[in-house]
């Protein structure tokens, strides 16, 4: 997955399809998506779902948060410890439980603009 490192570790199914389409064998987006989903199920990839845009897959499957740039859609991995040392997974589970809600995952996303985009204005 070396080619995917160029995406900063976060990529959409469409980006993978575009990279794979340079080969002679055409690959459908559905095939790529299903393969990526299977890798997520196996714990090989993470998954980042933002309100806007396509699901992004993540070469970092360990628990971490993201800084999401709204201009260039860059995603930066952050150690959740850097976000105040709060155990977001535990907080999320306990809040969910108080609503009788079965938690399946917690995403910590800090929205804003990256350094590059902020400087361009
Ligand atoms: Zn940006
Ligand atoms: Zn990530």
Q: What is the pLDDT of residues 57-104, one digit of tens each?
A: 999 988 888 999 989 888 999 887 766 777 777 888 899 999 999 988
* Strand locations in 21-80 (E): 46-48, 56-58, 65-69, 75-78
Cα(22)–Cα(30) distance, integer angstroms: 17
Question: Is the same domain home to 1 and 48?
Answer: yes
Question: Is the same domain home to 44 and 82?
Answer: no
Q: Which of 61, 90, 108 is the last residue of a domain?
A: 61
Q: Which of 10, 26, 61 is the last residue of a domain?
A: 61
For residue range 21-66, what is the model confidence (pLDDT) as tens digits? 776 777 889 999 999 999 999 999 999 887 677 889 999 988 888 9
Residue ranges near ligand 1 (ion) with Cβ within 5 Å: 69, 71-72, 74, 114, 117
CA 49 to chain centre: 6
Cα of 25 vs centre of ligand 2, distance in Å, is 29
Q: Residue 56: count other Cβ atoms within 10 Å of its Cβ.
A: 22
What pLDDT does 3 receive? 54
* Residue 105: domain span: 63-121
Model pTM greater than 0.75? no
Question: Is the same domain home to 91 and 120?
Answer: yes
Is the separation of the CB atoms in 87 and 65 below 8 Å? no
For the chain, counts of helices (H) and of strands (E): 4, 6
- For the cut 50, the answer to whether the pLDDT of residue 1 exceeds it is no
Cα of 74 vs centre of ligand 2, distance in Å, is 10
Cα(63)–Cα(106) distance, integer angstroms: 9
Cα of 28 vs centre of ligand 2, distance in Å, is 25
Cα(39)–Cα(46) distance, integer angstroms: 8
Question: Is the same domain home to 37 and 82?
Answer: no
Cα of 121 vs centre of ligand 2, distance in Å, is 26
Cα(36)–Cα(56) distance, integer angstroms: 10
Cα of 115 vs centre of ligand 1, distance in Å, is 7
The tokens for 12 are 């959409």
Closest-lying ligand to the alpha carbon of 65? 2
Q: Which of 18, 33, 61 is the last residue of a domain?
A: 61
Closest-lying ligand to the alpha carbon of 70? 1
Cα(28)–Cα(41) distance, integer angstroms: 20
Question: Is the same domain home to 2 and 51?
Answer: yes
- For the cut 50, the answer to whether the pLDDT of residue 14 exceeds it is yes
């Amino acid at each position: 997955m070396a080619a995917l490192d160029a995406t900063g570790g976060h990529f959409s199914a469409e980006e993978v399809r575009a990279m794979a389409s340079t080969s002679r064998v055409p690959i459908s987006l559905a095939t790529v998506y299903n393969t990526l989903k299977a890798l997520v199920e196996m714990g090989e990839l993470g998954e980042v779902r933002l309100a806007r845009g396509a699901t992004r897959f993540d070469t970092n499957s360990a628990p971490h948060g993201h800084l999401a740039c709204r201009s260039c859609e860059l995603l930066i991995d952050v150690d959740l410890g850097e976000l105040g040392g709060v155990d977001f997974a535990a907080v999320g589970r306990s809040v969910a439980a108080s609503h009788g809600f079965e938690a399946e995952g917690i995403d910590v996303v800090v929205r804003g603009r990256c350094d590059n985009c902020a400087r361009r204005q």
